[in-house]
Amino acid sequence: MNSHPRLLLRKPLALIGIGLVLAHLIAALTAPLWIPYDPTALVGAALEPPNEEFLFGTDELGRDFLSRVFMGGRVAILVAFSAGVIAAVGGALIGLSAAYHGGAIDDLVCRLVELKLAIPSILFVSLFVTGFGQSLGVLIAVIAIIKMMGAIRTVRAAGLQLMNLGYVRAAQLRGESASSVIVRELLPNVIDLLLVEFALRSSSALLLVSALSFLGLGLSPPTPDWGLMIHAGLAAIHSEPWLILIPAVCISTLVIGVNFATEGIADAWGLDAARGGAHG
């Protein structure tokens, strides 16, 4: 384990990725302390270009764009990382349970995963939002369900390999319950894999939440959200391109940062095979 940090330090892209993620996290966490205006307040004329008073200009309603961009980062990170945690942990527990029990339970889990993967994400979100409404909790839940499917498949495959190891057999012979074996014996042995799964699911969740907001299926205005900002800026793309470019750069740098950091961590921990099979 001591060699892992040293291996990570030898990977410049990984360090760049970690730096980008930390920069976004710090900006998002501290934004309420230093943004100049309430992100939903009308503080100036509509579509003012960047100037001394409004460093990023104003949007189509006269709201300070800098304040909205950095508060939008808080929303994006909250949704993406929360969905990533739920997808990784939930996927691990379901995948390990399927691997442990096998038989009909394993078949049922595999069929349900295949059924969900056969449904386009946009259609699934549309049905979910229609039934439960558009809110932060609903958005986190639906994205977590979508991203959990890939995690279930990846962790199930790892669990099938662990089932043949001696300590699992020993726990079964001691009479430990299925839940005890899964949580105490199997789960600790896939923690490294879960870290990679969390990073991968969070990265793709960030893109998905932005795409959903752009399509009108995510958060509702006036919530500051990068996808909503890009959608609103389309009407002024030729005269005020910064309304699209700034949130697009924010999304891109955060996704690139998470991906670079994930690649470096996976390589340092020797999880290339697991990382390669985790996409989807």
Phi, psi of 64 (to 5 degrees): -65, 120
**pLDDT the model gives residue 279:** 41
pLDDT per position as a tens digit, 201-229? 988 898 888 888 888 888 888 889 999 99
Domain range enclosing 149: 3-276
pLDDT per position as a tens digit, 142-195? 999 999 999 999 999 999 998 887 777 788 778 788 888 898 889 988 888 888
Question: CA 191 to CA 188: how far, in whole Å?
Answer: 5
Confidence check: pLDDT of 265 > 70 = yes
Domain holding 31: CATH number? 1.10.3720.10
**pLDDT the model gives residue 269:** 64
Phi, psi of 58 (to 5 degrees): -125, 160
Radius of gyration (Cα) for the chain, nearest Å?
Answer: 22
Give the amino acid at 227: G
Number of domains in the chain: 1
Average pLDDT over residues 230-258: 92
* Beta carbons of 100 and 185 less than 8 angstroms apart: no
pLDDT per position as a tens digit, 58-92? 999 999 999 999 999 998 899 999 999 999 999 99
**pLDDT the model gives residue 7:** 63
Across the chain, what does the average pLDDT equal? 87
Average pLDDT over residues 20-36: 94
Question: CA 136 to CA 122: how far, in whole Å?
Answer: 17
pTM: 0.85
